[in-house]
A and B are shown apart, each in its own frame.
Chain A
Amino acid sequence: MVHVRPILKSLPRLRPILFVGLLIALWQLLIHRVPGQLLPGPFQVLRGMRDLLQHGLMVKYVVASLFRVTWGFLLALVTAIPLGLTIGWHRRAEMAFNPLVQVLRPISPLAWIPIAILWFGVGDLSAIFLIFVGCFFPLLLTAISAVHNIPAVYVNVGRNFGLRPAEFVWKVLYPAVAPRLILACRITLGVAWLVVVAAEMIAVNSGLGFLIIDARNAGNRYDLVVAGMIIIGVIGLLLDQAMRTLERAKSFRWGYSEE
Chain B
Amino acid sequence: MNRGIFQSHVRRTPAGFTLLEMSSAMSVLLILAVALVVMLQQHVLFMEMFRRQSFLTVEAPKIGNLIGRIINHTDHYFVYGSKADALAGAQPVLTGGSAVRLFFKSADQETEERLIAVEPTAAGNALRFYSWRADGSETSWTISNRIANAQFSSDQGILNVMLQGPNGEEVTYGGGAR
Do A and B interact? no
